[in-house]
Amino acid sequence: MKAIVFDTPALPIDHARSLYDHTLPTPTPGARDLLVEIKAIAVNPVDTKVRARSTSDQPQVLGWDAVGVVREVGAEVTLFKQGDEVFYAGAIDRPGSYSEYHLVDERIVGHKPRSLDDASAAALPLTSITAWELLFDRLGVQENGGQGQTLLVIGAGGGVGSILVQLARQLTQLTVIGTASRPETQAWVEQLGAHHVIDHTQPFAAQLERLQLGPIDHVISLTHTGSYLPQIVEVLRPQGQLALIDDPEQLDIMPLKRKSLSVHWELMFTRSLYHTDDMIEQHRLLERVSALIDEGVIKTTLGEHFGTIDASNLKRAHALLESGKAKGKIVLEGFDRSQ
């Protein structure tokens, strides 16, 4: 099967071997696996991080967002059958979705939204799982809850922020404030439903004061948390909550003590890494997201379509993500069968 791989870590993305087209054997499903024929993928910051940090010199396949069709099922599979259209974010300790065929445990897979094409659906799984777990599992916000409370989302114009703003606005009563620095991303965050948008290149407190918004109840930081931490502490109310997903080089949380602030870290791969007892919650979560899409409650966060799935287009996608200027999600669709 065709695949796009790398075998030398930390190469700049414009290097010939940073990502390259390759041929690998088609895998065989385990007991609870689905063998999925890949139709579309999305590219995420985790893709670039794994490429940079890997220590292996063997060909590795990245990719943790996929849409496809089930071609084979393992002996113990009960949730899906051959021919089902599915979407999912996969597991970080298994080969990724930059390949024609891909294995994934059924417990972290959902049925693709019927109302979306493959590319639009590929934009959703990883960010939807991350955003849902941040809001409802880590911070403990209840659906239809949060009345009178505020949520500040730092980096709201990116992939996770784009779905998080929608979930918070549509499924809770929180007042949602997003941050974005460029006119196009500010407009995007407003379109997604944020009540207010502020500029994260300017001091938070002064902007929130002008909006007559008191101390913030919940902050979700999606990028550069280490550099924003003093401002986060300043604007959070006593006993407020901070949740984050990024990887600061240092994060000194001692300043949180005076206000009794809590910190919640989110990694959407935790359930699949440890095969937790509630691993199937990601299946249920994706089924709910699929229904919300088909009901018109939330929409895809597709930002740019980069063409077919090949090394050249994936390099362009990685370069854009590394620039920090991506809006929404970058997707690729289909393999060139003529080669």
Domain hosting 206: range is: 127-265
CB-side neighbour CA atoms (13 Å) of 76: 7
| Same-domain pairing of 105 and 36 | yes
Domain containing 210 — which CATH number? 3.40.50.720
Residue ending a domain, among 216, 236, 265, is 265
Residue ending a domain, among 265, 294, 318, is 265
| Same-domain pairing of 207 and 80 | no
In a domain, 184, yes or no: yes
Q: 277 is written with which tokens?
A: 């007892």
| Same-domain pairing of 131 and 248 | yes
Number of domains comprising the chain = 2
Q: 132 is written with which tokens?
A: 């849902």
The CA distance from 140 to 136, in Å, is: 5
Residue ending a domain, among 225, 244, 265, is 265
Residue 57, H or E segment: none
Q: 57 is written with which tokens?
A: 């010199």
The CA distance from 263 to 143, in Å, is: 21
| Same-domain pairing of 184 and 255 | yes
Q: 296 is written with which tokens?
A: 């018109």
**Cα separation of the two ends of the chain:** 12
| Same-domain pairing of 200 and 214 | yes
In a domain, 255, yes or no: yes
pTM of the model: 0.94
The CA distance from 183 to 196, in Å, is: 14
pLDDT tens, per residue, the chain with 339 residues: 999 999 988 889 999 999 999 999 999 999 999 999 999 999 999 999 999 888 888 899 999 999 999 999 999 999 999 999 999 999 999 999 999 999 999 999 999 999 999 999 999 999 999 999 999 999 999 999 999 999 999 999 988 999 999 999 999 999 999 999 999 999 999 999 999 999 999 999 999 999 999 899 999 999 999 999 999 999 999 999 999 999 998 899 999 999 999 999 999 999 999 999 999 999 999 999 999 999 999 999 898 999 999 999 999 999 999 987 777 789 999 998 665
The CA distance from 42 to 317, in Å, is: 9
| Same-domain pairing of 120 and 11 | yes
In a domain, 253, yes or no: yes
From the list 57, 9, 53, 2, the residue with the least C-alpha distance to 26 is: 2
Residue type, 92: I
Domain containing 317 — which CATH number? 3.90.180.10
| Same-domain pairing of 251 and 314 | no
